[in-house]
Amino acid sequence: MSKIAILGFGTVGSGVLEVLRTNAALATRRAGQPVEVKYICDIRDFSSHPDAKLFVKELDPILNDPEISAVVETIGGTKVAYPYVKAVLESGRHVATSNKELVATHGAELLALARKKGVCFLFEASVGGGTPVITPMYQCLAANVLSEVHGIVNGTTNFMLTKMEHEGMDFEEALKLAQSLGYAETIDPSADVDGIDAQRKICILASIMFGRHFYPKNVRARGIRDVSVKDIALAKCQNAAVKLIAWAKQTENGPALGVEPMLVPQTSQLAGVSDVFNAVMVHGDMLGDVMFYGKGAGKLPTASAVVADVLDALRNGGSIQESLFWQDSEPWEGTYEDSSSSDWYVRASGDTAAAEKVFGTIEILEESADEIAFTLREKSDAECRELCEKARKENICVKNVLKWLAH
């Protein structure tokens, strides 16, 4: 019998209890022994909960119980989760977490601690929710040098963009709907709509890919606030969909990372990924492209990935940690920029002549009385930003600029 504890009894934490109980026979088979939740740590009052006797308000009873061999962290954030996870690993127990902020901020340190203690620190659920992404990347693609990863890693914004595309909703309407369905935070939806969630996730994937830690503050992230129904319609005319893409790649000048809404051609598998689904495309030197697709969030999907990690830790112990490991990076103030060239979609005020004066050769997509949309070929991110800056100085209002996903 393996006994575990759950830290944080919110959506995912309560899902972990449910998954372990619903599929107890399966868990026993996979872990090689029955798995029982002995403690649930949460500062809130659960005295009338059917499992009230499992609840504790502090970590100490868990740390002091020699029967506990693994701990699930589903508190979220870093304020409590970070010291708690550190203490659990220090005490020689495995940790499985769904907390992307924790991994993106303290991953390298916690991995080193886990390695030192011979235990596991696993976090499959931190990217893609229940969809397997991290394990296939470091395990199944172990014989490949990974040169690029890009994908749709935020289900909330993908749901909103789908509604904008299929039902013509504007950003505000789509956000309200996402909030009413519980996909986006009601008070402050910025983690989703401003790309902060995606920024954390791409840092985790890049850290696996390059073997060293990438911190969110060094990654340029832009959300979907300025994507309009007009942009989506013009993208459609170009056989493309607008998607919030998180990407990381090896370039001539080293690693480049970013999060931004992009034009994804319909020939890419990512263009057809709709609603709250996520999909991550990984490029390996031997394998070419592979894609992992599934629900990116949700109580039971995410919880099932946390449980799979726990079962893996209980069965295989610290030996699996060696292959999922990355070094820390030196603190640094800049951002990982991509110096390679891309094609761009630009929508701006003015006419062809005014646009050509600033941008040079352009391909017109649509021109109306006061607005123009065009394609700009083969510019780097920096060159494109510079041209837009120049346009603003010429009193051209640049309404949106979106990169084409190379495919």
Tokens read off for 301: 């999907």
Pairing relationship of beta strands 35-41 and 2-7 according to DSSP bridges: parallel
Give, as ranges, the residues between 264 and 323 that touch a copy of itself (CB under 8 A). Answer: 269, 272-273, 284-295, 298, 300-301, 303-305, 307-308, 311-312, 315-316, 319-320, 322-323
Residue 406 binds a copy of itself (CB under 8 A): no
Minimum distance from residue 256 beta carbon to a copy of itself (Å)? 21
Minimum distance from residue 158 beta carbon to a copy of itself (Å)? 14
Count the helix, strand and coil residues of the chain and give each as a percent rounded to the nearest 5.
40, 25, 30
Give, as ranges, the residues between 6 and 45 that touch a copy of itself (CB under 8 A). Answer: 19-20, 22-23, 26-27, 29-30, 32
Minimum distance from residue 78 beta carbon to a copy of itself (Å)? 25
Q: Which contiguous run of DSSP H or E holds residue 151?
A: strand 146-152
The footprint of a copy of itself on this chain (CB under 8 A) covers a number of residues equal to 53
Judged by beta carbon, residue 79 or residue 236, the one nearer a copy of itself is 236
Residue of 85, 88, 111 whose CA lies nearest to 97: 85
Minimum distance from residue 301 beta carbon to a copy of itself (Å)? 5
Rounded to whole angstroms, how far apart are CA atoms 111 and 107?
A: 6
In the DSSP assignment, the letter for residue 327 is B
Judged by beta carbon, residue 57 or residue 166, the one nearer a copy of itself is 166
Give, as ranges, the residues between 322 and 341 that touch a copy of itself (CB under 8 A). Answer: 322-323
Minimum distance from residue 94 beta carbon to a copy of itself (Å)? 15
Site string for a copy of itself, 238-267 (x = CB under 8 A): ------------------------------
Helix (H, G, I), strand (E, B) or coil at 344: strand
Judged by beta carbon, residue 52 or residue 287, the one nearer a copy of itself is 287
From the list 100, 117, 163, 201, the catalytic residue is 201
Judged by beta carbon, residue 306 or residue 388, the one nearer a copy of itself is 306
Among 124, 194, 197, 260, binds a copy of itself (CB under 8 A): 124
Judged by beta carbon, residue 24 or residue 52, the one nearer a copy of itself is 24
Rounded to whole angstroms, how far apart are CA atoms 162 and 363?
A: 27
Judged by beta carbon, residue 319 or residue 395, the one nearer a copy of itself is 319
**CA–CA distances in Å: residue 5 to residues 67, 179, 255, 275:** 10, 31, 38, 33
Q: Decide if 156 contacts 193 (C-beta within 8 A).
A: yes
Residue of 20, 11, 5 whose CA lies nearest to 85: 5
* Neighbour order of strands in the sheet with 35-41: 55-56, 35-41, 2-7, 68-73, 94-97, 121-122
Task: Compute CA 151 distance to the chain's CA centroid, rounded to the nearest angstrom.
Answer: 9
Residue 86: active-site member: no
Among 47, 50, 64, 143, binds a copy of itself (CB under 8 A): 143
Burial class (CB in 10 A: 0-12, 13-18, 19+), 368: exposed
Tokens read off for 109: 């340190």
Minimum distance from residue 167 beta carbon to a copy of itself (Å)? 16
CA dihedral 288, 98, 73, 331 (to 10 degrees): 70
Look at the chain and count its residues: 407
Residue of 32, 118, 124 whose CA lies nearest to 72: 124
188 C-beta neighbours (distance < 10 Å), count: 10
Judged by beta carbon, residue 59 or residue 303, the one nearer a copy of itself is 303
Judged by beta carbon, residue 259 or residue 300, the one nearer a copy of itself is 300
CA dihedral 10, 175, 244, 236 (to 10 degrees): 150
Residue 115 binds a copy of itself (CB under 8 A): no
Give, as ranges, the residues between 161 and 180 that touch a copy of itself (CB under 8 A). Answer: none
Residue 141 binds a copy of itself (CB under 8 A): yes
Catalytic residues: 201
Chain positions contacting a copy of itself, by CB under 8 A: 19-20, 22-23, 26-27, 29-30, 32, 124, 130-132, 135-136, 139-145, 269, 272-273, 284-295, 298, 300-301, 303-305, 307-308, 311-312, 315-316, 319-320, 322-323
